[in-house]
Amino acid sequence: MRIGPDSVGHLIRERALAFGGEMLTATDIAVAAGREGIGDPARVAHIPRAQIEAAQDRIRSMLEGGVERMKLNATDIPVVLVGGGSILVDFPLAGVSNIIVPPSHGVANAVGAAIAQAGGEVDRCYSYAEWGRDAALDDARRLATQRAIDAGADPTTVAIVEQEELPMAYLAAGSTRIRIRAVGDMSI
């Protein structure tokens, strides 16, 4: 049995069995297991119970492995499920203290994308002997800001959120690596 990494994604209503398509998906497994009020359960009624249970076991194992890799220590942690895949889980997970499925969980990915910020970054070397420190930093900030704007940020909301100066002792005196990141709200 193979689950992922491929996904039918936004074509779920065209490709999944529960919607009249021809591809067995994890959503079909959830519908066949009696979860979630989507699709047509009659279209997945032919899936053998053993296959449903095996798929759920595999999904559980994959999620538990992901949770384990993300944990900072052995303590059980809460998990928040959002996006289309949040309907796949209605069973306990090892290493998880509780599962939280917030209201409107199915559209969380779209909401996150809609409120995301655009960013721009500069990572380059400057000679303070040639530029001067202030001028070099101003240039890097200007470039990072412009890159954020070019990525779709509203110019009135762009701010520098990270700045790093790393002297480079093995180059000419005053050579410094400057890394600056700017972000701003998406222009609408």
In a domain, 59, yes or no: yes
Residue 47 has a CB neighbour count (10 Å cut-off) of 17
Element at 159 (helix H, strand E):
strand 159-167
**126-166 residue pLDDT tens:** 999 999 999 999 999 999 999 999 999 999 999 999 999 99
Question: CB under 8 Å to 51, separation ≥6 — which residues?
Answer: 1
What is the total count of domains within the chain? Answer: 2
The token pair that represents 175 in the structure block: 């050579």
Same domain, residue pair 36 and 91? yes
Kindly state whether residues 51 and 102 are assigned to the same domain: yes
Percent of the chain with pLDDT over 90: 61
Residues 91, 123, single domain; the answer is no
Residue 1: inside a domain? no
Residue 16, both tokens: 């999944």
Shared domain check, 148 and 59: no
pLDDT above 80 (res 65) = yes
pLDDT exceeds cutoff 80 at 27: yes
**Domain end call among 111, 146, 169:** 111
How many CB atoms are located within 10 Å of the residue 55 CB?
22
Peptide bond into 5 cis (omega under 30): yes
Range of the domain at 154: 117-185
The listed range with the strongest mean pLDDT (1-15, 95-109, 112-126, 171-185) is 171-185
CA 85 to chain centre: 13
- Residue 3 domain-assigned? no
Give pTM, 2 decimals: 0.58
Of 23-27, 110-114, 115-119, the least confident: 110-114
Shared domain for 154 and 70, answered yes or no, is no
